[in-house]
A and B are shown apart, each in its own frame.
Chain A
């Protein structure tokens, strides 16, 4: 990786790389090289392999695909391999309406859940930001704590609540609000509840950090000038919290599109989401090339949101300095 050369970091000596001043170039390079090489090999290279295998044929063998572009055959074998490339798996994805529906449903479910999470999360973040400064760290800790407990466990906990003879139905029946149990488990409603619940901290934290920085004298000023609270909110508070809204929405939307655990445990067999389709294609049908093709399309679908997320991160980092 000779292209990762360290250049002079700035005009002043103080801005120079921290170890560079005594010519510790080797240490410098090591600091960059080790994580760089690790991520190249374990994060970037695997995507190239996924793409490669999505172009190969399914075979009944182990591994269950016929390899294409095998470097072991040397250069000539590598180029011969190009003729064996096949887009059959992608054609297959377009022919079966199941995949198309799964992609569309996943994006729609993720989008609706993101909006719901925003609606649920905003008042919490706002309340936290306006709370007395002495209890804010405790509130922050309380939001983060569920994030430390297992995702699987938190989703599992909802099965006992939502199922027909579960706690929610018992409560509603005993209060005579309903006469017969609601069917919530194994429906899309359960998926929405699961996503909102599991991803809520991801929404609240960025919202809180932008609301906390806000200057509330602006609201006071608007009120003094006769602006009603609702329109003060939409004209001042919401626009100022927009960076947090964007970061929170991306943090919820992107992983939710490819979510597997929630649709599998709460959505049952009747619901369709692409993460579950990929999982079944891989584990139940053992069709590695098709599941690779599903992954490639999913990745393409998420490229733009992921790039927006990168930019938001980079901007936040710049502001932190």
Chain B
């Protein structure tokens, strides 16, 4: 590798990350702007955060979004993990092609199609649109993402561990709970977080499947953005980014610690 190549590499990484992060940084900076004009700096202030907490509509929407996110991510994690087990463990059953198709297609399906089709289903079976229907829609979308995350961990999983446990007399359920689950747990946790943030993030599907009284935060933000950019929305977005960033960082630190602990255990085991 010669010097010009590595300089090229460093430049492209720096420029690339600047492109990825600059807009988010600017958004956060201008949420602390004293001036009502979003793009003209008028001094530091947290007044938009204060007014945010007095905006009842926004607070209600946050509460709805948090509940939808937690419930849908939890159910989606269970369903997605089962789907991942099915995809990796049962390589031959009739209908498998259709099944893997139904797991992968939602990942790229335009949201307007998913949203419209789910809404028409809810109308057809006579479900009133609202909190429950948004949650069902989010479970359906996010379980596929969970399935992909968990599947990628399962593929590299050493099956001989399970074999050993069962040869030593553990029942299949016990083997799953004591051997398989702990190994794939990090993937399940990151699957849950991905599901939660996707639910937190979704505007299009929620707009189709939601009803009166179940306005989610992205729907609220979207309706305000259409009226114009305000520092208050910047503040709301900053809080959302902070919540997600803290979650991701805690999860990755926990992951690192678990990994380090595992290595220590392995070394101890080898020393006997």
Residues of chain A having any CB pair with chain B under 8 Å:
1, 3-10, 14, 17-19, 21-22, 24, 27-28, 31-32, 34-36, 38-47, 49-50, 53, 63, 120-121, 123-124, 126-128, 130-131, 139, 141-143, 145-146, 148-154, 156-161, 163, 165-167, 170, 197, 200-201, 204, 216, 229, 250-251, 254-255, 257-261, 265, 275, 278-279, 282-283, 288, 291-292, 295, 298-299, 302, 305-306, 309-310, 313-314, 317, 320-321
Contacts and interface: CB of A to CB of B under 8 A. Distances in A.
Given A18-B89, A123-B12, A251 B24 contact: no
Interface stretch (B45-53, B150-158, B263-271): B150-158
A34 B77 CA distance: 13
Contacts of B191: none
B39 interface: yes
B108 A251 contact: yes
Given A14-B163, A159-B229, A317-B151, A32 B100 contact: no
A177 B211 CA distance: 49
B229 A229 contact: no
Interface of B: 1, 5-6, 8-13, 16-17, 19-21, 23-24, 26-27, 30, 38-39, 79-80, 82-83, 85-87, 89-95, 98-113, 116-118, 120-121, 123-124, 136-137, 139-140, 143, 147, 151-152, 155-156, 159, 162-163, 166, 171-173, 175-176, 180, 193-194, 197, 200-201, 203-204, 207-208, 218, 221-222, 225, 229, 233, 237, 240-241, 244-245, 248, 252
A160 B27 CA distance: 8
Contacts of B6: 130
A127 B9 CA distance: 4
Contacts of B140: 38-39, 42-43
B162 A18 contact: yes
Given A4-B95, A27-B172, A46-B118, A146 B108 contact: no
Contacts of B5: 130, 229
Contact of B102 (A39, A123, A259, A317): A39
B111 A258 contact: yes
A63 B123 contact: yes
B122 to A, nearest CB: 9
A320 B156 CA distance: 7
Given A5-B94, A32-B90, A142 B118 contact: no
A156 B229 contact: yes
Contact of B110 (A22, A44, A170, A257): A257
A146 B120 CA distance: 33
Contacts of A141: 252
A154 B117 contact: no
Contact of B155 (A46, A229, A275, A321): A321
Given A124-B13, A197-B19, A156 B233 contact: yes
A306 B105 CA distance: 7
Contacts of A50: 113, 116-117, 120
A160 B117 contact: no
B175 to A, nearest CB: 8
A203 to B, nearest CB: 11
A47 B106 CA distance: 12
A31 B85 contact: yes
A152 B30 CA distance: 17
Given A152-B201, A160-B26, A295-B117, 13 more contacts: A31-B89, A35-B82, A39-B103, A44-B102, A150-B200, A150-B241, A201-B20, A216-B1, A258-B113, A259-B110, A261-B204, A292-B116, A306-B105
